[in-house]
Amino acid sequence: MTEYQTILTDQKNRVGIITLNRPEALNALNLQVMREVIEAAQAFDRDPEIGCIVITGSAKAFAAGADIKEMQPNTYMDVYLQDWFSAWDRLAEVRTPTVAAVSGYALGGGCELAMICDVLLAGDNAKFGQPEIKLGVIPGIGGSQRLTRAVGKAKAMELCLTGRMMDAEEAERAGLVSRIVPAADLLDEAMSVADTIAGMSLPIAMMAKEAVNRAFETTLAEGVRFERRVFHAIFATADQKEGMAAFVEKRKPSFQHR
Ligand code: CO8
């Protein structure tokens, strides 16, 4: 496996794991972290033996935001010409399902990174927020858009305008996270969810992900039409034949990921 400086990568069965590893800066997302996370996620995405990717941080911090010390000296021309943060879009384009396991702080870019992932599991100690306004900036990795779609206008406005954090319970009530688990069990639970997803047919899981994501990009009628076309196309796959035959024959399916 590739050697990285700011992240750890691992593979368990069909699950790829990316652990943010800058403890001295609460996993602040500098440009190197961004490059490494994206490179690792793309490598897992290319690997047909990987059916799900887990992204996690430390017990204290998933990530405390983009790296403020790295950002501070930059001018408009610096960030414009380097097109700061647009590379995170590559992570959203990964087709393999992704699970964020959030313990502790997920602030600013950390919250935005978690929201790029498909399933968001929170430890009961998780804290989410978009505190950029306190630094005199605004979210820069999609937070104003993804948070608003996840929790609605009023709460997104309050969080972006006041910079206050919300705890795991509030985040679950608001629909930001799929589930809260005791912090000590977070990684086991994330691995269990990821194992379940990775046990499905990979191309069908990719199509399910694509269909759900389409809900954020288009009208209801177009989205339903897209879903129906994909549903029809799935009947050309071996895994649809296997999945339905296994049900009828009362056995476990053995997906070929084709
Ligand atoms: N960037 C850089 N370093 C950080 C960051 C960060 N985001 N967060 C924490 N650190 C560093 C601290 O500076 C400290 O380092 P040192 O020991 O060298 O002083 C170390 O991590 C530990 O942090 P603290 O001592 O502050 O730990 P506490 O437990 O006291 O506090 C907090 C934890 C509350 C999480 C606190 O660290 C904090 O408020 N961090 C900043 C949170 C924040 O504002 N995040 C948003 C950043 S901006 C962003 O993500 C998007 C910007 C988009 C801009 C678009 C521009 C183009």
Mutate to test the pocket of ligand 1, among 32, 67, 68 (most ligand atoms within 8 A of CB): 68
Tell me if 257 sits within 8 A of 201, measured CB to CB: yes
**What is the arithmetic mean of pLDDT over 40-63?**
98
Kindly give the distance from the C-alpha atom of residue 26 to the centroid of ligand 1, in angstroms, as a whole number: 7
The closest-lying atom of ligand 1 relative to the alpha carbon of residue 108 is 50
CA 13 – ligand 1 centroid, Å? 34
Tens digit of pLDDT for each residue in 70-84?
999 999 999 999 999
Strand partners, 167: 127
- What is the predicted pLDDT for the residue at 2? 79
Task: Tell me if 197 sits within 8 A of 205, measured CB to CB.
Answer: yes
Distance CA 123, CA 128 (A): 11
Instruction: Tell how far CA 89 is from the center of its chain.
Output: 11
Domains and CATH numbers, the chain: 7-199 (3.90.226.10), 202-249 (1.10.12.10)
What spatial distance separates the first Cα and last Cα of the chain, rounded to whole Å? 26
- The pocket around ligand 1, CB under 6 angstroms, is made up of 25-26, 28, 64-69, 79, 84, 105, 107-109, 131-132, 135, 137, 139-140
Contact between 204 and 244 under an 8 Å Cβ cutoff? The reply is no
pLDDT of amino acid 23: 97
pLDDT per position as a tens digit, 185-243: 999 999 999 999 999 999 999 999 999 999 999 999 999 999 999 999 999 999 999 99
**The pLDDT value given to residue 69:** 97
Which sequence positions are flagged as catalytic? 66, 109, 112, 132
CA of 108 to the centre of ligand 1 (A): 9
Instruction: Ligand 1, residue 79: give the atom nearest the CA.
Output: 57
The pLDDT of residue 58: 98
- The DSSP code for 162 is H
Percentage of the residues of the chain whose pLDDT score is greater than 70: 100
Residue with CA closest to ligand 1 atom 53? 140
Categorize the per-residue pLDDT at 3 as very low, low, confident or very high, splitting at 50, 70 and 90. confident
Q: What is the dihedral of CA 99, 100, 101, 107, to 10 degrees?
A: -170
- Per-residue model confidence (pLDDT) at position 207: 98
Using the predicted structure, report yes or no on whether residue 141 has a pLDDT greater than 70: yes
Enumerate the β-bridge partners of residue 9. Answer: 18
At 12-28, the pLDDT tens digits run 999 999 999 999 999 99
SS3 12: strand
Mean residue pLDDT across the chain: 97
Q: Atom of ligand 1 at shortest distance to CA of 112?
A: 50
Give the residue with greater pLDDT, 1 vs 194. Answer: 194
Query: Residue 1: pLDDT above 90?
Result: no
Ligand 1 mean position to 105 CA, how many Å? Answer: 10
Give the ipTM of the model, two decimals please: 0.95
**What pLDDT digit, counting tens, does each position of 84-121 carry?**
999 999 999 999 999 999 999 999 999 999 999 999 99
Indicate which atom in ligand 1 lies nearest the CA of residue 107.
45
pLDDT at residue 34, rounded to an integer: 96
Ligand 1 centre to CA of 246 (Å) is: 51
